[in-house]
Amino acid sequence: MRGGNQSVVSEFVLLGLTTSLEMQPVLCLVFSVFYVSGILGNLFIVLTVVSDSHLHSPMYFLLANLSFIDIWVSSSAAPKMISDLFKERKVISLQGCIVQMFFIHVIGGTEMVLLIVMALDRYVAICRPLHYLTIMNFRICGLLVVTAWTIGIIHSLIQLVFVVNLPFCGSNEVDSFYCDLPRFIRLACKNTYRLELMVTANSGFISLGTFFILIMSYIFILVTVRQHSSNGLSKAFSTLSAHITVVVLFFGPCIFVYLWPFPTVPVDKFLAIFDVIITPFLNPTIYSFRNKEMKVAMRRLLSQILSFRKPF
């Protein structure tokens, strides 16, 4: 396998979610509705925060950044998945597959670090309220956002460097609706045990690590709120339980995909639906639409847009 590119496989066949013909229109409708409303909801949040000077604070900038990333999370796999539903042969080129994996890991890694940054922001606001404005200023906030993207890109590059030159010569069927490292690596015609270990260590570690940090930060916040006031607890609990739901929905599939040691279980592609379609749709509902200031600002923006339209 030395000396140049010996791949004979230049495209992969995605087996998709289901081969059932009756299911295809239903899935297409459901996924399209979730995808489009997720995009519109997140776009609206970004527009609201950017256009409304009342919302120019670190917390809302972070929310807008999360919405911005969520637009790309769903766009990394959903459009192809939906348009593939009706195709008999769902193919993706080798390069397309690598680009998709790079993209998914940049976005996924960045989203995870951003969720930690948001938890840190809430932790400082609730547990150190007097120092909040000095700790979380615009400079630090911007720096944290840049750090999140840098970590996302490095996380993705490190893994991709090891797999771009893998030789493929045998089967080219990927039993999923998108390309990702675990299945991609197993198709290579060489011993990939160490590569699989590398992906588990990298992607598995970042998923599991982030999950624990987030859960710990929520527990920390709850304990702090409990010590200070008893009536704040139920409100904090209702907010945090919503966050925990989303975090479990987002990280559960990731942890399963990268840490489940037995490759033969095909449930991971169904779990991935949560990450590609459901959480980018839920995040705005959970993080932004429940926020009073945000709701007021959205109504303001909406009435502005509508009044601009009137003359026409």
Which helix (H) or strand (E) element contains residue 11? strand 11-14
Backbone angles phi, psi at 16, to 5 degrees: 75, -175
C-beta of 133: minimal distance to ligand NAG in Å?
Answer: 14
CA distances from 243 to 133, 251, 279 (A): 24, 12, 11
| Between 149 and 260, CB nearer to ligand NAG | 149
Residue 240 contacts ligand NAG per CB under 6 A:
no
Looking at this protein, which amino acid is placed at residue 248? V
Which helix (H) or strand (E) element contains residue 93? strand 90-93
C-beta of 42: minimal distance to ligand NAG in Å?
Answer: 10
| Between 68 and 256, CB nearer to ligand NAG | 68
Among residues 145, 151, 240, 298, the one that binds ligand NAG under rule CB under 6 A: 145
Distance CA 122, CA 178 (A): 34
| Between 70 and 268, CB nearer to ligand NAG | 70
Task: Find the binding residues for ligand NAG in span 27-86 (CB under 6 A).
Answer: 46, 49-50, 61, 64-65, 68
Distance CA 302, CA 312 (A): 17
Task: Find the binding residues for ligand NAG in span 104-143 (CB under 6 A).
Answer: 141-142
C-beta of 151: minimal distance to ligand NAG in Å?
Answer: 15
Backbone angles phi, psi at 90, to 5 degrees: -100, 110
Considering CB under 6 A, how many residues would be counted as binding ligand NAG?
10
| Between 166 and 286, CB nearer to ligand NAG | 286
C-beta of 211: minimal distance to ligand NAG in Å?
Answer: 23
C-beta of 287: minimal distance to ligand NAG in Å?
Answer: 13
Does residue 312 sit in helix, strand or coil?
coil
Pairing verdict, β 173-174 and 11-14: parallel
**C-beta nearest to ligand NAG: residue:** 64
Number of neighbours of residue 62 by Cβ within 10 angstroms:
24
96 CB-side CA count, 13 A: 13
Q: Which residues bind ligand NAG (CB under 6 A)?
A: 46, 49-50, 61, 64-65, 68, 141-142, 145
